[in-house]
Structure 1
Amino acid sequence: MEHVNSGRHISSQFDEELKEVRNAVLSMGGVVEKQLTDAIQAIKASDHELADRVLSNDTRVNALEMDIDNACTQLIAKRQPTARDLRQIIATFKTIADLERIGDEVKRIAAVAKESFSSEQQHLLAALENLGQLVLNMLRTVLNAFARMDAEEALEVHRTDQGIDRQYEGMLRQLMTYMMEDPRSIPKIMDVVFSARSLERIGDRCQNIAEYVIYNVHGKDVRHTSDEDMEQTVRKTR
């Protein structure tokens, strides 16, 4: 009986450690989400002070990634997890890497908020804000899918990226037209182009996190597969 109880104790400890790691990922996600929210608000309000805070807070995201990375490494070394537990740790490693890269993209967006735009150029920032809100909703949803390990919600997030890409491409066409009409606006427009590109990349990172959730839940790597194959993976094992 002592041996059985010892095994349960170790299992309980491991479950608690996994839970702590998962909560840390969600905390990191919350920080990144707040950073993106503030960057979009800084653009909307031309708030240079808020943009500066976004830029200075990036070190928090980097520190959280390192802490979680170390915790996952310790879990593997101490517990030698197998099967589903190992999948969760692998998904966590990948998720925090993408969250850190989202943080890097947010810095580029915040940097544009520090630029000065004329009243005639404000409509460019409005288009950027609209795209930003779509991407922010995508990030919130995928973090919720990770928190609940909800593969169906992750699948919906994955599909959302198509709409992000369409809006991004439409915005680029519009910006190219402005540059041709007024070559003097090219430097400012390029700032907006780079920010829009960062938002599009954040959408791609959210897609990646959605794939990690599906992998964790169903044990199948769905990267580089069609939407139809991904849906089949999620639906057939409900």
Structure 2
Amino acid sequence: MDITSDTHSQHISRQFNQELEELKTHLMAMGGLVEQQIQEAVSALLEGDSRLAERVRDNDKAVNDMQLKIDDECTRVLARRQPAASDLRLVLAVIRATSDLERIGDEASKIARNALSLIEANQGAKGVVEVRHISEHVRKMLRDALTAFARFDIELALEVVHEDDSVDSEYASAMRSLMTFMMEDPRAISPVLNVMWILRALERIGDHANNLAEYVVYLVKGLDIRHVDPEELDEAAIKRQD
């Protein structure tokens, strides 16, 4: 069964419909928080702001608490309503999505911790331009994935899936450049390693944003594309699926 943004307005129980909408609303709020965490963690690095980095690190608990709250809401919906078809897919997609958002929060915290190490050591490092560029890329992926989830937008979700390969290529290129720099100047090894961990965290955020986009396809079409190579996706067939 294909679903649209109007599907969940058809329930006889207005309360059930409200519960489903609240799940989506709370998921979007969690998504907004983790995107802010990414932005502030990268800003802390670029601006040398240790207080901002500490705030991101300390706010990780707030992300974890939101996941627990949403998971509890999903459990109550499953127990009370015993949803089926598209409603069940929505609840399951929210559960999966909160797990990925929590992990994005963990990656933002890692960025903040490595930024703190660089700031406290008063060490500049190569790779800052790459960090800025890739962080903007993965934040856009995350925003688009959340928008696709909110709007049940298959086309936007598939765009995110294809963007992940681009992020992977940018990450690989940046890592090769940093490896070369470390070999040329062994004194730079420590700070460059911190930047490498930051880039790795950003690449992982891109992977989780990709997962969110894949859940949109599952939610709307009932298709699991998690282990399908993006180049092999038959997008026309996916859009026709009902």
Same fold (TM over 0.5): yes
Q: For structure 2, list consecutive stretches of 5 or more residues without a partner in the other structure.
A: 1-9
1:235 aligns with 2:232: no
Query: What residue identity is the alignment partner of 2:156?
Result: E
SS of residue in 1 equivalent to 2:118? coil
Aligned to 2:99: 97
User: Is the deviation greater in 120-129 or in 71-80?
Assistant: 120-129
Q: Which runs of 4+ in 1 moved over 3 A?
A: 116-123
Aligned to 1:200: 203
Rounded Cα–Cα distance in structure 2 between residues aligned with 1:12 and 1:148: 20
User: Is the deviation greater in 21-30 or in 219-228?
Assistant: 219-228
Q: For structure 1, list consecutive stretches of 5 or more residues without a partner in the other structure.
A: 1-7
Sequence identity, in percent?
A: 43
Contact 2:154-2:239 at 8 Å conserved across structures: no
1:65-84 matched pairs, under 5 angstroms? 65-84=67-86
Aligned residues: 231
Aligned to 1:175: 178
Deviations 1:87-133 (A, max 9, x none): 00010000000000000001011112213369984442222122111
1:131 aligns with 2:131: no
1:147-186 matched pairs, under 5 angstroms? 147-186=150-189
User: Is the deviation greater in 31-40 or in 222-231?
Assistant: 222-231
| Distance 1:91-1:192 versus aligned 2 partners, 3 A rule | same
TM-score, normalising length: structure 1:
0.92
Rounded Cα–Cα distance in structure 2 between residues aligned with 1:154 and 1:9: 26
Higher helix share: 1
| Distance 1:52-1:120 versus aligned 2 partners, 3 A rule | closer
Structure of higher CA gyration radius:
1
Rounded Cα–Cα distance in structure 1 between residues aligned with 2:107 and 2:11: 43
Query: What residue identity is the alignment partner of 2:60?
Result: D
Cα distance, 1:229 vs structure 2: 2.7
Aligned to 2:7: none
TM-score, normalising length: structure 2:
0.90
